[in-house]
DNA sequence: TGTACATCAGTGAACGCGCGTTCACTGATGTAC
DNA sequence: TGTACATCAGTGAACGCGCGTTCACTGATGTAC
């Protein structure tokens, strides 16, 4: 910060690398014991350091946990954004489906990181402000697909038989479209997208947390079917 | 078991009561520390016993956890069944909505028990067979509403524009309707119900685990709206 | 280029804590004659 | 009804373990003159 143009010293490079390695080892340990079981001493042991040395890199266990949480949100957010960008712009339904499948693929490949961010909150851990923006990437990307479709005139209008939005809900939706600058997106379409978003993660959590064992496992077919129904629900034309 | 008609001795009554009290105290401690933090020693302390005494009642910590899990599944299952039974039989959509709202009410009143059963799995804990039946009560009750509607001819037929079910999915659905004896329920209606079930808990988990903070919190209006959309999705006529 | 000093990474010992589970035991409750 | 014995609940000490965090320290890396 004090001299941003200067090339990094050996010490600075070593510090950056170890900071990353600690995080990676911690991520590996999530698999074995979950967020609650993440132990600074175990991380240090695995890295061949003494546990107190970690305090040069992370001021406390919670800060390390926060770094993992932010990374996980960023990873799933990036995967989502990429999937959307890779699908044809003029076909919002395909973009939607691509995003959903990319999210599922990431979640199945990283179930413990998924549980870290979408599972039960870690008791005693208070998520700091810094997690909010990364956490928003997925839903923002998803409703972005709807907003683009709306701007292109490719979004199905609200069913005339559907009742108008409840007042409180309309206000929340309007506040959110304002905040995100999605002026083209009607409030009821946003609500449809948000409900589809909760649907997506509900199914994913059930799959990963074992609620479908013995009924719809493997869940590939159920997921594919749900993605289509979600697209309908969100107003994306077939 | 050996003499079921005989009236319980004082020792037996004391045992039954303490077994219950231990469970209740453990339930109370879930609030403070979550499933991972549940400590036999803390439970014993609170009950004025020595920790080794608990082993007369539960063979291990995991068994106590299992008892809590079963109780939680049974509680939310019973609440669901009651809500359905209390709503008019001829109005499946009302029954559905009543069940959803009862589930939400229970979850909001017992967030830690909710997290215990629908949150991330406790690392190292393997749910025994005995949890399966209680876990099934909610989904069975929900699809029961659909099955009754189907038997009454009150279920919307599958949209003609909707593609037929994928083969694997149809097989899973048929196996499940067989298993549950719901012969009147078409496979695609079951799938719709299951997807609605995942939707319901997805929204609930997001609400309880803090994903809606800053956007759709309080979530009452969003939830009510989602319940209606789920009923549509499940084929229940308005 | 060489030296004196400041910065920082990593060490090792310690503090104070909590945990699940086992085991030999005491003393009360229940049972069979 | 009374006694002898078996069952069982609860005790207290112990085993062996792990944890997050602090602190005074050594020795290496970097900086300024």
Q: In chain A, what is the straight-line distance between the N-terminal and C-terminal CA atoms, in Å?
A: 51
Q: Give the chain A residue nearest B166 (alpha carbons).
A: A221
Asked whether residue B107's C-beta has any atom of DNA/RNA strand C within 7 A, the reply is no
Position B200 scores a pLDDT of: 98
Across B195-220, average pLDDT:
97
Position B138 scores a pLDDT of: 98
Whether residues B225 and A166 touch (CB distance < 8 A) is answered with yes
Position B191 scores a pLDDT of: 97
The yes-or-no verdict on residue B5 having pLDDT over 50 is no
Position A124 scores a pLDDT of: 85
Asked whether residue A176's C-beta has any atom of DNA/RNA strand C within 7 A, the reply is no
Chain B contact set for A226 (CB, 8 A)? 195, 198
Distance B6 CA to D6 C1' (A): 20
Chain B contact set for A215 (CB, 8 A)? 172, 176, 194
Maximum separation of any 2 CA atoms in chain A, in Å:
67
Closest C-alpha among B33, B109, B26, B87 to residue B60: B26
- Per-residue pLDDT reduced to its tens digit, B173-201: 999 999 999 999 999 999 999 999 999 99
Position A163 scores a pLDDT of: 83
Residues with pLDDT less than 70, chain A:
1-7, 160-161
pLDDT classification of B157: cutoffs 50, 70, 90: confident
Closest C-alpha among B62, B73, B77 to residue B122: B62
Asked whether residue B62's C-beta has any atom of DNA/RNA strand C within 7 A, the reply is yes
Other beta carbons within 10 Å of A210? 13
pLDDT classification of B2: cutoffs 50, 70, 90: very low
Position B67 scores a pLDDT of: 98
Q: Please name the residue that has the structure tokens 């490949």.
A: A109
Q: Which residue is nearest to nucleotide C7 (CA to C1')?
A: A11
- Per-residue pLDDT reduced to its tens digit, B33-56: 899 999 999 999 999 999 999 999
The yes-or-no verdict on residue B230 having pLDDT over 90 is yes
- Residues B123, B124, B128, CA angle at the centre, nearest 5°? 110
Q: What is the dihedral of CA A5, A6, A10, A14, to 10 degrees?
A: -20
Q: Measure the CA–CA gap between A227 and B173, rounded to whole angstroms.
A: 17
- Per-residue pLDDT reduced to its tens digit, B55-71: 999 999 999 999 999 99
Chain B contact set for A129 (CB, 8 A)? none
Instruction: Name the residue facing A115 among B120, B166, B216 (closest C-beta).
Output: B120
- Per-residue pLDDT reduced to its tens digit, B23-34: 999 999 999 889
Position A7 scores a pLDDT of: 67
- Do the beta carbons of residue B75 and residue B24 sit within 8 Å? no
Q: Between chain A and chain B, how many beta carbons pairs sit less than 8 Å apart?
A: 152
For the residues of A50-114, what is the DSSP string, one character each? -GGGGGGT-SSHHHHHHHHHHHHHHHHHHHHHHHHHHS-TT-HHHHHHHHHHHHHHHHHH-HHHH
- Do the beta carbons of residue A81 and residue A143 sit within 8 Å? no
pTM: 0.95
Position B6 scores a pLDDT of: 56
- Do the beta carbons of residue B96 and residue B149 sit within 8 Å? no
């Amino acid at each position: 910060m004090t001299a941003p143009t200067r090339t990094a010293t050996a010490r600075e490079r070593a510090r950056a690398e170890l900071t990353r390695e600690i995080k990676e080892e911690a991520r590996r340990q999530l698999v074995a014991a979950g967020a609650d079981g993440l132990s600074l001493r175990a991380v240090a042991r695995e890295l061949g350091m003494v546990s107190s040395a970690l305090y040069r890199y992370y001021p406390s266990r919670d800060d390390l946990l926060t770094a993992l949480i932010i990374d996980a949100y960023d990873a799933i957010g990036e995967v989502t954004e990429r999937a959307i960008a890779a699908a044809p712009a003029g076909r919002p339904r395909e973009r939607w489906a691509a995003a959903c499948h990319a999210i599922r693929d990431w979640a199945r490949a990283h179930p413990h990181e998924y549980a870290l961010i979408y599972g039960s909150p870690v008791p005693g851990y208070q998520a700091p402000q810094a997690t909010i923006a990364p956490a928003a990437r997925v839903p923002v990307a998803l409703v972005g697909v709807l907003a683009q479709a709306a701007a292109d005139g490719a979004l199905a209008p609200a069913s005339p038989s559907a009742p108008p939005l409840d007042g409180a809900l309309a206000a929340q939706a309007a506040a959110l479209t304002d905040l995100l600058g999605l002026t083209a997106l009607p409030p009821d379409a946003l609500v449809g997208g948000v409900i589809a978003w909760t649907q997506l993660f509900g199914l994913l959590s059930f799959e990963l947390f074992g609620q479908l064992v013995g009924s719809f496992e493997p869940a590939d077919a159920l997921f594919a079917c749900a993605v289509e129904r979600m697209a309908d629900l969100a107003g994306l034309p077939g």
